Amino acid sequence: MTGRIGILGGTFDPIHIGHLIVGQEVLHRCRLDHLLFMPSGEPPHKQYSEMASPAARAEMVRLAVDGHSQFVLSTFELQRPGKSYTVKTLSDFRKDHAQATLFWVVGADNAIDMKSWCNPEGVLDLAQVVVVSRPGFDVTCVDPLFRQKMIFIETPLLEISATEIRRRVRQGASIRYWVPNAVAQYIASCGLYR
């Protein structure tokens, strides 16, 4: 894969329309050739045992991007053992895609948190970091040293999270339109998040 490649990493537990709408906006605004949705293996900041299986999270991404010629499921992180640190993922990914221009896409919540990442300066050297809006997170709180190297894209403020979707499923509330139809059907048929 060459050209301008964006990567949106996440647990995608499950993928939802927030990811897809901001993804589409970044694709357009950064003139990307492809946007890869890359489910994380073992995220450093999350309780792994409580998550849906890697296979289920990847399948939901696959269903969500199906039919979009520029959205792609990437299992790159899932195929790697151990904790997934962005800097390691990016440097390995870059080895396989030496000709590509890489964009690492994060929500404002993650960007504010960047100080706690493993080697954030390394991440900023390996890819253009693109920050999208997220309600409740003020991008002026991002460390100024990081901020000057980032691209900020104002995206629609979507008060949607996977946490809220899991809560709704647990409580028997509808998630129609919160996730693509095929993803809602998959969640129901596998009995996820109950």
Residue placing its CB nearer to ligand ATP in the complex, 50 or 96: 50
What is the CB neighbour count within 10 angstroms for residue 130? 22
- Contacts with ligand ATP, 83-122, as mask; x by CB under 6 A: -----------------------xx-xx------------
- Residue 12 lies near ligand ATP (rule: CB under 6 A): yes
The Cα–Cα gap between 9 and 105 comes to 7
Q: Which amino acid, one-letter code, is at 7?
A: I
The Cα–Cα gap between 6 and 4 comes to 7
- Residue 57 lies near ligand ATP (rule: CB under 6 A): no
Q: How far is the CB of 178 from ligand ATP (least distance, A)?
A: 10
Closest CA to 87 of 119, 43, 131, 45: 119
Binder among 101, 102, 161, 182 for ligand ATP (CB under 6 A): 161
Helix (H) or strand (E) holding 9: strand 4-10
- Residue 10 lies near ligand ATP (rule: CB under 6 A): yes
Residues that bind ligand ATP (CB under 6 A): 8, 10-13, 18-19, 22, 106-107, 109-110, 132, 134, 158, 160-163
